[in-house]
C-alpha cells in the first residue's frame, strides 16, 4: 500500500506501518531498548522524572526538527548532509505517498541513533567521571545508567508515536478523540494552507511557544509554496 488515502481503518494503518521500513526499524529499536531497560532494573523516582522531562521537551524539539531540518533553508549544510529537506519536499509535493510520508530507512536508523547515541555517551561519561574522579558509589552509577536507559526508551517510544500519528493523519481514518482530531486538522492546514505554521505533529506546545498556532486560521495567508516548500 503506497497511498495514504487507501487506508481507512486502524487495522489498515497498522498493516501499512508494519510493512514500512520506518515502522520495522523503530519497532525493533524500541523493543531492544525495552529489553535493556528491563535488564538493568533498579527502578526509582528518577525514572518518572526522566519520562516527564522527555514529554515536556518533546513539543519544542519536534518543532525545531520540523522547522530547522525538514523545512531548512535551501543550501543548509546539515539538511543537505542528512537529506531531510529533500525527502520532506517530496512529502509535501505528494502528501499521500506513504513511501515519503514515513521516514526512509536511512533516516529512520539515523533518528534512532540520534536518540540513543547522546544518551549512551552521557551515561558513559557520567559513569567514568563518577567512578574514577568523584568517587561516587557504584549504586549511584547503576541508577544513573538505568535512568539513562529510561530516557532512551521513552525517546524511541516518542519517535514511534510520531511516525504512527503522521501516518494516521494522512489516511482517511478519522480519530475519535478531540486531541488527535485537532492534530489531524492542524497538520492538514500545515500541508495545504501554510507550511510555516502548525509544525507540531504529536504535540502543539512547540507551536504555542513559537506562535505558529494561530487561533484564526483565516488570518494566515495561503502559501504558494505549501506543496513545494521551495
* 10-residue mean pLDDT series, the chain (230 residues): 88 95 97 96 94 96 95 87 89 94 93 94 80 65 90 97 96 93 95 96 96 93 87
Please check whether residue 192 is in contact with residue 28, taking contact to mean a CB–CB distance below 8 angstroms.
no
Q: Give residue-wise pLDDT tens across range 204-214.
A: 999 999 999 99
Q: Cβ contacts of residue 128 below 8 Å, gap of 6+?
A: none
pTM of the predicted model, to two decimals?
Answer: 0.93
Q: Is residue 119 part of a domain?
A: yes
Rounded to whole angstroms, the Cα distance separating 42 from 147 reads: 9
Torsion of CA 15, 97, 203, 77, to 10 degrees: 130
Q: Give residue-wise pLDDT tens across range 42-58.
A: 999 999 999 999 999 99
Q: Is residue 218 part of a domain?
A: no
Q: Is residue 207 part of a domain?
A: no
Domain total of the chain: 1
Rounded to whole angstroms, the Cα distance separating 190 from 46 reads: 37
| Structural domain of 130 | 4-165
Please check whether residue 193 is in contact with residue 222, taking contact to mean a CB–CB distance below 8 angstroms.
yes
Q: Is residue 78 part of a domain?
A: yes
- 97 DSSP β-pair partners: 3
Rounded to whole angstroms, the Cα distance separating 58 from 151 reads: 12
Q: Is residue 86 part of a domain?
A: yes
Rounded to whole angstroms, the Cα distance separating 117 from 109 reads: 12
Amino acid at each position: 500500500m503506497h497511498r495514504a488515502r487507501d487506508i481507512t481503518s486502524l487495522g489498515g494503518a497498522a498493516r501499512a506501518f508494519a510493512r514500512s521500513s520506518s515502522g520495522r526499524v523503530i519497532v525493533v529499536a524500541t523493543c531492544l531498548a525495552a529489553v535493556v531497560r528491563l535488564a538493568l532494573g533498579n527502578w526509582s523516582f528518577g525514572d518518572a522524572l526522566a519520562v516527564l522531562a522527555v514529554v515536556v521537551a518533546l513539543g519544542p524539539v519536534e518543532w525545531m526538527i520540523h522547522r530547522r531540518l525538514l523545512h531548512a533553508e535551501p543550501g543548509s549544510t546539515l539538511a543537505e548532509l542528512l537529506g531531510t529537506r529533500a525527502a520532506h519536499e517530496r512529502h509535501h509535493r505528494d502528501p499521500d505517498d506513504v513511501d515519503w510520508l514515513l521516514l526512509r530507512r536511512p533516516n529512520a536508523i539515523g533518528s534512532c541513533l540520534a536518540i540513543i547515541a547522546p544518551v549512551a555517551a552521557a551515561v558513559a561519561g557520567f559513569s567514568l567521571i563518577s567512578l574514577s574522579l568523584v568517587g561516587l558509589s557504584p549504586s549511584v552509577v547503576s541508577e544513573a545508567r538505568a535512568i539513562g536507559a529510561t530516557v532512551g526508551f521513552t525517546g524511541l517510544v516518542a519517535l514511534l508515536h510520531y511516525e504512527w500519528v503522521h501516518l494516521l493523519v494522512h489516511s482517511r481514518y478519522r480519530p475519535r478523540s478531540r486531541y488527535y482530531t485537532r492534530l489531524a486538522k492542524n497538520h492538514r492546514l500545515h500541508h495545504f494552507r501554510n507550511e510555516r505554521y502548525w509544525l507540531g505533529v504529536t504535540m502543539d506546545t512547540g507551536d504555542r511557544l513559537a506562535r505558529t498556532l494561530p487561533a484564526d486560521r483565516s488570518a494566515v495567508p495561503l502559501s504558494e509554496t505549501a506543496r513545494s516548500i521551495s
